[in-house]
Amino acid sequence: MSDRLAVRKTYKLYLGGAFPRSESGRTYEVTDAKGHFLANAARASRKDARDAVVAARGAVATWSGATAYNRGQVLYRVAEVMEGRAAQIAEEVAAGEGLSATRARAAVDAAIDRWVWYAGWTDKLAAVLGSSNPVAGPYFGFSLPEPTGVVAVLAPQRSSLLGLVSVLGPVLAGGNTAVVVTSKERPLPAVTLGEVLATSDVPGGVVNLLTGDAAEIGPWLAEHADVDGIDLAGASGPLAMELERSAAGTVKRVLRAPAEEPDWTADPGLARMTPFLETKSVWHPMGW
C-alpha cells in the first residue's frame, strides 16, 4: 500500500462552460447498483436551472449561427475526446448501471457511435428535411429547418450514458442549446461528459448539465418563459403529464415521455431531431 492520499473528485454541475457547485450548496449521495456509496453529486436547484437557461440563451447565437459543417466538426471532436476517456466513463457506467465491464464498454462504444452519427447529421438535415417547393408563380419557394432555441432535456433515468447521448445529440445537431437534467441516481457519466464537452471546442453554454432530481427542477424548466422546447424522456407518468400541462402555458415544443424507457440501442432515426426544428419557408423572386 502506498501512503499517497487519495485525490477525491468533487462532482459538480456543468454550467455556462464552467463547473460550479450548486448555488444552493446541496449535494446528494450517489450509490452504485448494489447500494454502495460512490460519490456526492451536486444537487441542482431551481436557481441553477435559471442560470443554466441564461447561459443556454446566451449561446444560441453562436451555436445556431455556426455553419452546419462546423457544428458537425465540433460534435465529432466530442466523440474523439470521449473515445480517449472511454475507460473512465465505462467504469462509471458499470458502477451506476450494475453492468459487467464488457457490457459497460459496449454501452460506451454505442454512445460514442451514436454521437458520431448525430455529428454526421448536422449538415444533412437541411437536405433531408428542407425542400424546394413547387409554386405557381415566378418565385422560388424554399423550406429550411432551423433550430428551435433553448431546449430543456430531462435525460433518461436508467440509461445513464447511451440514453443521455441519445437525447442530447439530436438537440445539438439541429443547432439548439440544451439544459439537461441528468439521471438522478446515475449522474456520474453525465458529469464526465461535461468534462469532455468542456475540452472539445463546444462553446460554453451550449450544453449545461444539472445533476439532481427531474421532479424538482423539471417544473421550473417546463414553466420557464425563456425555454423554447422540452424533452420529457426522463420523466415518468404523472410527472410527465404535469410537465406537459405547464409547458403549454408558454407554448413550448414538447417531446412527450415514452410510456417506459425505450431500448436506446435501436436505430434512432430522425424522430428526436425533428421536434426541435422549425421550418422556415422563404419566397424568392425568380431571376432572369
Q: Which residues bind another protein (CB under 8 A)?
A: 50, 53, 57, 220, 223-227, 246, 249
Residues 6+ apart with CB under 8 A from 112: 79, 82, 83, 86
CB of 31 to another protein, least distance (A): 32
CB of 46 to another protein, least distance (A): 8
Choose between 73 and 246: whose C-beta lies nearer to another protein. Answer: 246
Q: 138: part of which helix (H) or strand (E)?
A: none
Choose between 29 and 226: whose C-beta lies nearer to another protein. Answer: 226
Residues 36, 37, 41: CA angle, nearest 5 degrees: 140
243 and 230 Cβ atoms separated by less than 8 Å: yes
Choose between 70 and 246: whose C-beta lies nearer to another protein. Answer: 246
- According to DSSP, the residues that pair with 28 across neighbouring strands are 41
- Quick one: angle between helices 46-65 and 214-223, nearest 10? 60
CB of 152 to another protein, least distance (A): 11
Choose between 13 and 191: whose C-beta lies nearer to another protein. Answer: 13
CB of 223 to another protein, least distance (A): 3
Rg (C-alpha) for the chain, rounded Å, is: 20
CB of 230 to another protein, least distance (A): 13
Choose between 50 and 103: whose C-beta lies nearer to another protein. Answer: 50
Between the CA atoms of 58, 62, 68 and 71, what dihedral angle is there, to the nearest 10 degrees? -80
Q: What are phi and psi of 129, to 5 degrees?
A: -95, -20
